[in-house]
Amino acid sequence: MNRKIQSALISVFYKDGLDKIVRLLHDNQVTIYSTGGTQNFIEELGIPVIAVEDLTSYPSIFGGRVKTLHPKVFGGILHRRANENDVKTAAEFEIPAIDLVIVDLYPFEETVASGASEEDIIEKIDIGGIALIRGAAKNYEDVLLVSSRSQYDDVYAILEEKNCATDLEDRKHFAKLGFATSSHYDTAIHGYFSGIENAENFRTKPAKTLRYGENPHQAATFYGDLEAMFEQIHGKELSYNNLMDVDACVRMIDEFEELTYVIVKHNNACGVASAATPKEAYLNALACDPVSAFGSVIITNHKVDKATAEELNELFFEIIIAPSFDEDALEILKKKKNRRLLIRKEVSLGKTQYRSLLNGVLEQDKDLSIEKAGDFKTATSRTPTADETKALEFALKICKHLKSNNVVLAKDGQMLACGVGQTSRVDALKQAIDKAAEFGFDLNGAVMASEAFFPFPDCVEIAKNVGITAVVQPGGSIKDQLSIDYCNENNVAMVMTGVRHFLH
């Protein structure tokens, strides 16, 4: 059933984008009720507004904790227009019908993230707003709810097209969004009091339908706010597989403080390099495996300049992510219309990860440990040189983020090759050696990193025979001594970290 909006209650924290809806309501002779700062905002637009205090005959009290919690407000929202007794009661107590509720919530999560005091955090727990959302959503038969500024454009389009009327489908859709908002908000509060990070159900987050999933026959949705993390300045929408590779890129680049480029394909790095200049870092990363880099996703922790953009433009890649781009670099990179260019924003990421499987969900802490030189325990008679130690640190950062079993070969701030996702560590090493040979790398003086221990000395023997001079591994095998003995006999330095980095 279509319902013409004749009255609206507007009470919001965020007012950007609200003005066009208010003007449209006014043009359609809609009576507007409001409170506090929102009332002032509407009055500054030159539009008449009735204060909620005038409706209820009660002022805002307790420092603003109680403003809209009154029968004349909630009765106006909740009374059923098709119910004769409800209509009679509303008339008896002079309760005006409220057909539209535009409300958002105090920024609880943002206040927590800011490191504010507990007192400030508690004051950002919205009471009236959450009640208004639930009340308006419950009575979607009669009331349209707008529960987030992200809905303003859609609501404006509907109201403009239908002359400030809505149908049942419209109202039920926005009621669903309202309950998602309230669910997300309450679970965030529960998470704060429980000390549980990411306690909310993922379905309470903003949802974006993707073209398809990992394959075209699979439906897919992303739940989260990508715009909070990236500004997309060019190119088509991100796909499911793009997002998987973007996540792999972000996890790996965050290990590096020095200027670094990472090239990812199918969630594994096919090129990583750190260097003094962006162009050198990119070219060194590309040299690792220029074949796999075709159609890849690239990330850097440094501004993209013109010289690097000219080199990048020679490669077909899906996405590049950077903290910023020079204008002349953008002119070059935007020549390919589908190429995605993302500016990464500073966003705090969670420390918990989830995976659905069987008939449930696994939850675990993210692997945020990375071992540096101070954590290395030399297991052999020879200690790694300073250059070898630096290379071992570099290689370990990479192998932590590759599928197990994996091995990384590196030298001078450049990944020379890697073997990933093998059921045998020997096979992973052989894969890496073959890759290095294919692209012309000399492994003499290079180092090897492994995310898990060597159960036998075969890997260190194979590595030594192609020129590897130092090795880092977690240790922990009952046969560690066999590998240590081989290294001692062949002047190979080995350090152990005591920390395994399986990735499946």
The catalytic site residues sit at: 138, 266
- Confirm if 174 and 167 have CB atoms less than 8 A apart: no
375 forms beta bridges with none
Report residue 488: phi and psi, to 5°.
-60, -40
Radius of gyration from C-alpha coordinates of the chain: 30
- Confirm if 247 and 241 have CB atoms less than 8 A apart: no
End-to-end CA distance of the chain: 52
Work out whether strand 260-265 and strand 221-223 pair parallel, antiparallel, or are unpaired. Answer: unpaired
In whole angstroms, give the CA distance from residue 12 to residue 147: 9
User: In the sheet that 493-496 helps form, which strands lie side by side, from edge to edge?
Assistant: 230-234, 340-344, 317-322, 296-300, 260-265, 268-274, 414-419, 407-411, 447-450, 470-473, 493-496, 377-378
Nearest-5° angle of CA 378, CA 380, CA 381?
110
Alpha carbon 326 to chain centroid distance? 25
Report residue 440: phi and psi, to 5°.
80, 25
